[in-house]
Structure 1
Amino acid sequence: MKIVFENINKLKAATHLNKHEKLISGITSAIESKDLVKGDRLPSINKMVAEIGFARKTIVKAYEELKGRGIVESKNFKGYYIADVNTKTKLRVALVLYAFHTFQEDFYNTFRAELGKKYIINVFFHHNNLDVFKDILTRISGRYGMYVIAPIQTLEVSMLLKKIPSDKLLVIDRHISLPNDYSYITQEFESSTYEQLKELLPEIHKYKQFVLFFKTDSDYPIGILNAFNKFIEEFNINATVEAQYKTGSIKKDRLYFFINDSDLWEVLKDIKPKNYTIGKDIGLLAHNDNAIKEVIFGGITTISIDFKKMAKESANYIKLKEHTRKIIPSQLIQRKSL
């Protein structure tokens, strides 16, 4: 502990650092000189106040910043300890997603690249399971400097997220109601999907039936189902909703709309032996774009947001910490499948 006090006292005259930065520099310098190693206990807040004369809130702020970088951890209110000797880390980020779908892989890869190597990112998947989500929050609570979370859209989850300080939480992907001081970068499903379907009306009329594959007991956005039902009723479209595609059930003159890529792949496998022409005998429309849909079978038409754009803006929020409340609009990407 003595070396920490010595380092901080040496920095007291430094005019380019504020008080909490002097505390951080004093501790990280002791780590870099190996006077502090992993597992060592830091001086208590009271001890720091007595020895260096800084305000209690200044010391708490410094310790919390070091916790956010993963360098320090607090153990059951028994004090602060060195958790990691990598002093170059700027921030530890907990990224909580639904699952590692292809489009979320695009988000992660861009997010990772935009933040760079000085940011530690740990990824967790809740699979739209409330118990799993709650368990993840319990395990990561207080251990990260920033939480980037794609939430389950329930009131209980909203209440849980309010326990995270607003300056440490960014909600992504699915929108959820939180007070105005919380930031989000999300997408909207209902009105945007409806508008894109209207734009596709001439192509949709080419087919005898419009089939949406939608599981109501899954993480599928209910807004897509609402938009679909509104659209087919307003324009008198012969349509049906099925939970999932059944292998071998493909029919000519149908337009299939997919939320889950696994259903899309099954249909594509069934098309080949039938010698159907995509965009003529069979129509395909999918949610969430990715590189595979861009090239396979001449391209699959999609309704999607730009997940790379969402990732870049999320990374920018973490670096700048500027309050944001933004909805990324979806776009229609027309290809040969209609």
Structure 2
Amino acid sequence: MPLLDRILDLQNSHLLSKHEILVQSVVDAIGDNEFQVGDKLPSINIMVRDVGYARKTIVKAYEELKDRGLVESKNKQGYFVISQETGVVLRVALLLFAFQSFQEDFYNTLREELGKKFQVDVFFHHNNISIFETMITNIKGKYGMYVIAPIQDDAVKPMLQTIAPNKLILVDRYLDLGPEYSFIAQEFENATYSTLVKLLPDIKKYKSMVLFFNSKTDYSPIGIRRAYERFLKDHGIKGSIEENYISGTIKKDTLYFIKNDSILWTFLKDCNQGHCVLGKDLGILSYDDNVLKEIIMGGITTISTNFKEMAKIAAKYVMDGNEIRTIIPTNLISRSSL
């Protein structure tokens, strides 16, 4: 059935608003293969002429179709069909650092909270500004909502500000885009420092402390390093910073602060082979909790936020659009590794 006939049929029902009639007519046409991926929709001017609705009504309908991820607008060329998934209410672009275990928790919870009517496509930028820019360029204008863990660098601000504030929420890391943008983030420096102070009696059991920190490979925020350096200075703790762990270099009577899970698993393997007892021969403090850290080798003490709660708040924003600007608390999860 031609699109115009679909519109006329729905007009006779008197149950839908004008913009809802337009949206449903196009959705039905796509669902019936009248429009396929790559096809161009009638221009706004043609719709104004043939249907008789106001220009702003037609623009509103086409923009809703964009939000659903069914069409995209190409500058000066018009609107084109990009998906035939008409059962989807909204397409969501999720841009994360990498598929680490704690970000997997975030992703799975977000999917579960949104349900089947929301299509979530996940992308990774690996803390690389060039990749980040390419990703933003490729996904911009093709999704109804963007959930993005940003690189904490001023260079990415203009990229993110090309997305409308009501279609973007920043998660995990904070980046100041202006008062109109929503975020759910962690705070690293003060939270890490206060946790280390809380652990001071345990830390003093060890002769020295080592932080493995490499912002390029493990995406660690600089706030963790600053907190660690301030803690060592303020409390007279002997400590150092290493970019990478070299297998076989474990030292007893040392507390190791490990952010990178890849380093942690290699380190624990060496501990096991060397028959080291965590919390006695040496200590381990980690970041970002997951189920493995809860059970492996008696449990790993962890500084962590609640990524599942973060995902639930993000999902609520995607569904209702109510502005949110909040810092998720960071918690100490004490286990036997100290």
The normalised TM-score by structure 1 is 0.95
CA–CA distance in structure 1, aligned partners of residues 274 and 23 of structure 2: 67
Equivalent residue runs for 1:1-338 within 5 Å: 3-12=2-11, 14-218=13-217, 219-338=219-338
In structure 1, give the amino acid aligned to 2:225.
Answer: L
Once the 2 structures are TM-superposed, how far is the Cα of residue 29 of structure 1 from its aligned partner? 2.3
Structure 2 counterpart SS, 1:164: coil
CA–CA distance in structure 2, aligned partners of residues 320 and 100 of structure 1: 27
Percent identity of the aligned residues?
A: 51
Once the 2 structures are TM-superposed, how far is the Cα of residue 13 of structure 1 from its aligned partner? 5.3
Any conservation in 1 of the 2:247–2:270 contact (CA below 8 Å)? yes
| The 10-residue stretch of structure 1 (79-88 or 243-252) with the greater mean CA deviation from structure 2 | 79-88
Any conservation in 1 of the 2:37–2:83 contact (CA below 8 Å)? yes
Once the 2 structures are TM-superposed, how far is the Cα of residue 14 of structure 1 from its aligned partner? 4.8
Question: Structure 1 residues 207 and 135 mapped into 2: Cα distance closer, same or farther (>3 Å)?
Answer: same
CA–CA distance in structure 1, aligned partners of residues 215 and 125 of structure 2: 17
Kindly report the root-mean-square deviation, in angstroms, between the aligned alpha carbons of the 2 structures.
1.6
5+ unaligned residues in a row in structure 1: which ranges?
none
In structure 1, give the amino acid aligned to 2:22.
Answer: L
CA–CA distance in structure 1, aligned partners of residues 277 and 214 of structure 2: 27
CA–CA distance in structure 2, aligned partners of residues 25 and 249 of structure 1: 65
Q: What's the CA shift string for 1:218-253, capped at 9, x where partnerless?
A: 421100011111111111111111112111110111
Once the 2 structures are TM-superposed, how far is the Cα of residue 15 of structure 1 from its aligned partner? 5.0
| The 10-residue stretch of structure 1 (230-239 or 282-291) with the greater mean CA deviation from structure 2 | 230-239
In structure 1, give the amino acid aligned to 2:262.
Answer: S
Once the 2 structures are TM-superposed, how far is the Cα of residue 76 of structure 1 from its aligned partner? 4.8
CA–CA distance in structure 1, aligned partners of residues 273 and 30 of structure 2: 65
Once the 2 structures are TM-superposed, how far is the Cα of residue 280 of structure 1 from its aligned partner? 1.0
Any conservation in 1 of the 2:127–2:216 contact (CA below 8 Å)? no
Question: Structure 1 residues 61 and 152 mapped into 2: Cα distance closer, same or farther (>3 Å)?
Answer: same
Once the 2 structures are TM-superposed, how far is the Cα of residue 325 of structure 1 from its aligned partner? 0.6
